[in-house]
């Protein structure tokens, strides 16, 4: 009788190790093998046992990309060898993480698995940028959309013009490459050109950057400012609140002020 390990599809959260769930942290420290994406940082990988096998199966636009079927085959192979496997994904495994496809492959192979939710990137990016995704005065609905659909689809599933009339906060994953087209189509659907929009890059990490503009200008301004993946785009009136509520950028600057690193004459 064959002995099978278990595959844990684990959300690593947005980047900061302190935002891992307690269960995710424990499973990482106990795993025999960690199969991880590009967005899982070294501080999180370092939580694993020194003898744990670490396998990179990341995807990055314009760079290395491990085919999805190969990733699934790796998970099945490791589990059939009796290993406790952590499939570690940035954010949440079931929010644009292809966790559903991997779970289906595991079921078909008869491999036991578990889903461990993580803090998804849109929630974390908005929170760290000081953007409440819902607000009684501004927005009562939130939509998560991807700017990068499966290229094998015969037609795009997202009718951007319809979302331009929805009146909800839009959180856009993987949208930097097509941001100009997406924002143009949202406006074509009726979204006001002056609707606030924000780009948050590398949220919760020491590389965190953010830019607030309007839906008509965000693509051009973020390109000129050198913004790129990984980034979340938030579109809607709530994005403007970042200008008053951006606590994380203020907190990051505080140690500089405390150490006297600010130029002379500037208020601390």
**Cis peptide bond upstream of 233, omega within 30:** no
The yes-or-no answer on residue 92 being catalytic is no
3-class SS of residue 183: helix
The span from the CA of 156 to the CA of 159, in Å, is 7
**Chain centroid to CA 104:** 22
C-alpha distances out from residue 198 to 42, 205, 227, Å: 27, 17, 11
Q: Which position among 16, 32, 43, 59 bears the catalytic label?
A: 59
C-alpha distances out from residue 223 to 71, 229, 252, Å: 32, 11, 24
The yes-or-no answer on residue 43 being catalytic is no
The span from the CA of 55 to the CA of 76, in Å, is 13
Spatial neighbors of 228 by CB under 8 A, at least 6 apart, are 176, 201
Q: Which position among 16, 37, 89, 92 bears the catalytic label?
A: 37
Residues marked active site are found at 37, 59
């Amino acid at each position: 009788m064959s002995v099978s390990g278990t595959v844990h599809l684990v959300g690593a959260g947005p980047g900061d190790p302190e935002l891992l769930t307690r269960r995710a942290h424990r499973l990482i420290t106990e795993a025999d093998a960690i199969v991880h994406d590009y967005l899982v940082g070294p501080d999180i990988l370092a939580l694993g046992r020194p003898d744990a096998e670490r396998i990179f199966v990341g995807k990055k636009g314009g760079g290395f990309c491990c085919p999805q079927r190969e990733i699934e085959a790796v998970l099945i192979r490791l589990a059939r060898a009796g290993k406790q496997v952590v499939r570690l994904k940035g954010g949440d495994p079931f929010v644009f993480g292809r966790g559903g496809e991997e779970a289906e492959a595991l079921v078909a192979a008869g491999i036991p698995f578990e889903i461990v939710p993580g803090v998804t990137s849109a929630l974390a990016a908005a929170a760290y940028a000081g953007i409440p995704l819902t607000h009684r005065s501004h927005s009562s609905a939130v939509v998560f959309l991807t700017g990068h659909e499966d290229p094998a689809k015969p037609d795009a599933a997202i009718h951007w013009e319809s979302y331009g009339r929805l009146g909800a906060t839009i959180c856009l994953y993987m949208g930097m490459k097509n941001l100009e087209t997406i924002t143009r189509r949202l406006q074509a659907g009726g979204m006001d050109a002056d609707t606030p929009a924000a780009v948050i890059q590398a949220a919760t990490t020491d590389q965190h950057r953010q830019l607030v503009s309007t839906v008509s200008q965000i693509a051009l301004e973020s390109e000129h400012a050198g913004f790129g993946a990984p980034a979340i785009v938030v579109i809607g009136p709530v994005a403007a609140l970042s200008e008053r509520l951006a606590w994380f950028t203020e907190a990051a600057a505080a140690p500089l002020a405390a150490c006297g690193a600010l130029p002379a004459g500037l208020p601390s």
